Amino acid sequence: MALNIIFMGTPEFAVPILNSIFKSDHKILQVYTQPPRKKNRGQKINISQVHKFSIENKIDVSHPETFDDEEVKKILNLNPNVVVVVAYGKILPAKLLDNSKIKFINIHASLLPKWRGAAPIQRALMNLDKETGVSIMKILPKLDTGPVMMQSKIKIDKKTDFERLSNTMALLSAKMILQSLDLIEKRKAKFVPQDETKATYATKLEKKEYLIDWNDDSEKVAAKIKALYPKPGSWFLFKGSRIKVLKVEEVKAKGNPGEIIKSNFTIACGSNAVRLLEIQKEGKKRMSIDDYLKANNLKVGFNVKKNF
């Protein structure tokens, strides 16, 4: 028997998972997503990617600011078997989670209990982890602490950036959610408690972290750039403007941290160096470093840290 499902999600990451359920035999009763937001100083109203998908596929979609009693009552009246949550961005109230007739499951982009919290993909990359993965768990009132139903691992290599890893995770999650729903439907789902002694937290990224710290070694600098690619991006100040660094390669070379040591835009780090491969100046389109160098001469020995 197919399940009746409410889906809650917001970003692009959640869309393949929603699409997977939509194309299955299960019935989506309602989609919940973050409310439309103003962008560019109120000039344009943006809807989430999940909202857009729902409209295109004629799925009922709601975007409440809060889960008040009326909204909780509305959900309960829909009588879902399962509520699937994927990067929704809102905490569900206990008065909803306490309903024993509904299974609330969450897809989280890490191997729980490692990297609970808001930025698990970025933190795994910045931490130079060799692997990560996807966890499907039962939702409890305390964030990302619920017992785990299913996990799948993903290797992280030197080429892995946020965009690539996020896409891989989303496609993997789209397969895992159907397996999970099948187990729930057959009453074979088993939830294993997390080991609290191994819990780590992926705190929300702060804007000050986007600034490249040239005192870090080259591996760590490169890892941060990949973790923040393509948005919001890592940056440094150069000739009075921000340079967002999109792609680099690590180089074995010596110099003072922040010093341009080669005319191909190689910058020394605390240990070794990185060569910039692709950048984006403020208000400009992204460009290869070769195109940038055609119109700009670099002074070897200049230290970009002096901008501060």
CATH number of 207-307: 3.10.25.10
What distance in Å separates the CA atoms of residue 244 and residue 247, rounded to the nearest whole number? 9
Amino acid 38: pLDDT: 79
- Stretches in the chain below the pLDDT threshold 70: 40-43, 307-308
Amino acid 39: pLDDT: 72
For tokens 């990560």, the residue is 132
Residue 115 contacts residue 37 (beta carbons within 8 Å) = no
167 token code pair: 């896409």
Four-point Cα dihedral 36, 38, 43, 44, nearest 10: -30
Amino acid 40: pLDDT: 64
**Secondary structure of the chain in the HEC alphabet?**
CCCEEEEEECCHHHHHHHHHHHCCCCEEEEEECCCCEEECCCCEEECCHHHHHHHHCCCCEECCCCCCHHHHHHHHHHCCCEEEEECCCCCCCHHHHCCCCCEEEEEECCCCCCCEECCHHHHHHHCCCCEEEEEEEECCCCCCCCCEEEEEEEECCCCCCHHHHHHHHHHHHHHHHHHHHHHHHCCCCCCECCCHHHCCEECCCCHHHHECCCCCEHHHHHHHHHHCCCCCCEEEEECCEEEEEEEEEEECCCCCCCEEEECCCEEECCECEEEEEEEEECCCCCEEHHHHHHHCCCCCCCEHHHHC
Residue 237 contacts residue 307 (beta carbons within 8 Å) = yes
Amino acid 298: pLDDT: 92
Task: Report the residue count for the chain.
Answer: 308
- Give the sign of the dihedral formed by CA 175, CA 180, CA 182, CA 185: negative
Global pTM reads 0.94
Identity at 222, one-letter amino acid code: A
Four-point Cα dihedral 23, 27, 33, 36, nearest 10: 80
Architecture of domain 4-202: 3-Layer(aba) Sandwich (3.40)
The neighbouring-strand residues paired with 133 are 153
Q: Measured between alpha carbons, how far is residue 172 from residues 14, 20, 46, 134 in Å?
A: 11, 11, 27, 8
Specify the domain boundaries for CATH 3.40.50.170 within the chain: 4-202
Quote the longest CA-to-CA distance of the chain. Answer: 70
